[in-house]
Amino acid sequence: MALQVVLLVLAGMAGTGVLLVFTVLAFTRSDEADGPVSLRGQLDRAFQGVADRVSAREQRRGRLPLPERLGRAGLRLKPSEYIMAQVGCAVVVGLFCWLRFGVSLVVPIGAVVAVLLPGLYLKFRTGRRLKQLNNQLVDVLSLMANSLKAGHSLPQTLELIARDARPPISDEYARCVRELQVGGSLERALGNMARRSGSDDLELMVTAILVHVSVGGNLAGMLETIAHTVRERVRIKGEIAAATAQGRMSGWIITGMPIVVAGILFLISPTYFRPMTQQLVGWIMLGAAAALILIGNLFIRKIVRIEV
């Protein structure tokens, strides 16, 4: 009982603090020279510092900063807006858990899981966009080779792809062309495009172009060779994906079914599932089940993962 009272007091203090912060942001105005700032702009400023710290921490760890990860996923969001989405998910899920289960450990656990949901969606969008880009790259390489054979220069060829291709690869080429138009070097613009996309095939194309710029050679023929290599790689990846589809689906089902069933039981009948979370034997069983599920998932993923 004492623990529940303490948690309730802490939750009330946290909610009051958040309410005060948003109230101050809503009624605070900037300097007269800047003019009034909307609530969205004030929230953006408030969360921008958090986004900058997150990006700096990721760079220290050798990971891509948050703005580049959002760009690689094709999401037109500011880093501050992404942090707002995480906070919003945590608040919504936390309130739902509080209304359903009251003051308990389920509330912070649900909030922490909700914070991870935007990251999972970001990873899903990144993988889907990368797959689309790699599938489009074969036709784009052939189009670039034909354009160079027709007598167009390399900047004109890049502009042609940006104008006639389909997203997402046209977006990457368009950004590359804009960098060239504002005075950026070809090497830097192509390098930025390869780094943003995260595609090994596109990086291979950029390397070939930069080698051609440095030492010369038949760039059109080189691009045709790369197009053939990428086409064969995409074909082999498709065959492997078809051959391992059953194994990957089995891994997802075996991993997700126990978790989904446990979550449904916990939501529908908390009293039925309560012994698993209030007794030491229940915690041991849950820990052992989680460890076995994780080991099984890792083994299945290792079996069906074939590098090309």
Q: List alpha helices for the chain, DSSP H.
A: 2-27, 39-60, 66-73, 79-101, 106-149, 154-164, 169-181, 186-197, 200-215, 219-243, 245-268, 270-273, 275-278, 280-304
Please tell me which of 105-109, 123-127, 259-263, 269-273 the model is most confident about, judged by mean pLDDT: 123-127
Tens of pLDDT, residues 99-111: 877 777 778 888 8
CA–CA separation, 142 and 134 (whole Å)? 13
32 pLDDT exceeds 70?
A: no
Report the pLDDT averaged over residues 288-308: 83
Report the pLDDT averaged over residues 161-176: 87
CA–CA separation, 302 and 230 (whole Å)? 24
Residue position matching structure tokens 């703005």: 67
**Which tokens sit at 174?**
């368009």
Is the Cβ–Cβ distance between 80 and 51 less than 8 Å? yes
Report the pLDDT averaged over residues 245-253: 83
This prediction's pTM: 0.68
The pLDDT of residue 44: 66
